[in-house]
């Protein structure tokens, strides 16, 4: 059997930015979400309240703010460190193809039953694009509302503050289901978790890429820009 070939999807800098963003996001989501399971004073469920007494809640609030800096910086770092990648991504994102839309019909069937197939997709498939857009929009929502609540309390009207409170929460509840699906597909799903290597070593299996991103693979190969290697990531240079 031939050695498995791998194709490069992300650069080291992209991987760094991805994890800076992802880890900040997770820390923020966890420190923010703890309070959703607060004790109900009139119910029997005690929630997490007992663990958040005294200075614990305050400390978590500080952690939330430190992570917020990471979240704010990550996209800006992406622009600075890898402007070409950033603008190429943007271009991909604004080009929504027919196949991207068809992905949402055939994709769920394929990922659940293994039957059928996804139409040829670019570097980002329809699902990636949806995730990317939600991340961008909620990032704006989080950063704007969070900055106002953190630094501009008293400087803005109470009406504005209350609106920010609502926006922060809306961003959370739009962002979290998407993030859960994103995590599920790359960590747990028996098929798509093969994609995880892209944000660790930068490479994915060529066979997998052919199935999930056929259009992209064909273009890279045709243009001769595909970076291929013949060993699984972690095994060192072939």
Partner 1 sequence: MGRVGTWEAWQPDPRNPKQEVAMLVDVSECIGCKACEVACKHWNQNEARIEGFTGSYQSHSNLDAKTWTLIKFTEYEDPESGDIRWLFQKHNCMHCTEAGCVTACPTNALQYGDYGVVTLDQDACIGCAYCEQACPFDAIHVDRTAWDQKAQKAGKCTLCYDRISNGLQPACVKTCPTDCIKYGDRQALIEWGRKRVEELKARGFKNANLYGEHELGGLHELYVLTEPPEVYGLPVNPRVDWKVKAWKYAVQPIGKAVMGAALFGMAINWLAARRAFASAGARAGQGDSGHEGE
Contact residues for partner 1, defined by CB under 8 A: 1-2, 4, 35-36, 38-41, 49, 52-55, 57-58, 60-61, 111-115, 117-120, 149, 153-154, 158-159, 161-163, 165-166, 169-170, 172-173, 176-177, 180-181, 184, 188-191, 194, 206-208, 210-211, 214, 218
Nearer residue to partner 1 within complex by CB, 49 or 85: 49
Output the smallest distance, CB 155 to partner 1, in A: 10
Angle in degrees, 0-180, between the axes of helices 158-183 and 12-33, rounded to the nearest 10: 120
Which CB, 118 or 198, lies closer to partner 1?
118
- The helix/strand/coil state of 41 is coil
Q: Which residues contact 58 (CB under 8 A, 6 or more apart)?
A: none
- Closest to partner 1 by CB, 152 vs 238, is 152
Q: What is the DSSP letter of 11?
A: -
Dmax (CA) for the chain in angstroms is: 68
> Which residue, 20 or 170, has its beta carbon nearer to partner 1?
170
Q: How many CB atoms lie within 10 A of CB 31?
A: 20
Taking the least distance from each CB to partner 1, the nearer of 37 and 87 is 37
CB of 12 to partner 1, least distance (A): 27
Tell the smallest beta-carbon distance from residue 200 to partner 1 (Å).
18
Closest approach, Cβ 31 to partner 1, in A, equals 10
Q: Please state the closest distance from residue 94 (CB atom) to partner 1, in A.
A: 23
Q: Evaluate whether 134 touches 175 at the Cβ level (below 8 Å).
A: yes
Torsion of CA 42, 45, 47, 49, to 10 degrees: 40
Tokens 């509302």 sit at which residue?
145
């Amino acid at each position: 059997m031939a050695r498995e070939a791998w194709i490069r999807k992300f650069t080291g800098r992209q991987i760094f930015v991805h994890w800076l963003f992802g880890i900040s996001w997770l820390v923020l989501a966890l420190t923010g979400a703890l309070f959703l399971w607060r004790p109900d004073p009139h119910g029997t469920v005690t929630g997490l309240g007992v663990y958040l007494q005294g200075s614990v809640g305050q400390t978590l609030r500080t952690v939330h703010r430190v992570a917020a800096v990471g979240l704010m910086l990550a996209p800006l770092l992406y622009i600075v460190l890898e402007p070409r990648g950033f603008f190429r991504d943007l271009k991909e994102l604004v080009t929504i193809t027919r196949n991207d839309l068809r992905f949402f019909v055939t994709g769920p069937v394929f990922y659940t039953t293994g039957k059928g197939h996804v139409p040829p997709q670019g570097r980002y498939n329809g699902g990636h694009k949806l995730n990317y857009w939600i991340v961008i929009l909620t990032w704006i929502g989080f950063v704007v509302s969070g900055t106002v609540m953190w630094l501009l309390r008293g400087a803005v009207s109470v009406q504005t503050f209350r609106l920010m409170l609502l926006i922060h929460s809306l961003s959370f509840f739009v962002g979290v289901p998407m993030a859960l699906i994103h995590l599920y597909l790359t960590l747990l799903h028996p098929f798509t978790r093969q994609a995880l290597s892209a944000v660790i070593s930068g490479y994915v299996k060529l066979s997998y890429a052919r199935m999930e991103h056929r259009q992209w693979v064909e273009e890279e190969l045709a243009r001769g820009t595909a970076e291929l290697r013949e060993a699984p990531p972690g095994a060192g240079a072939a």
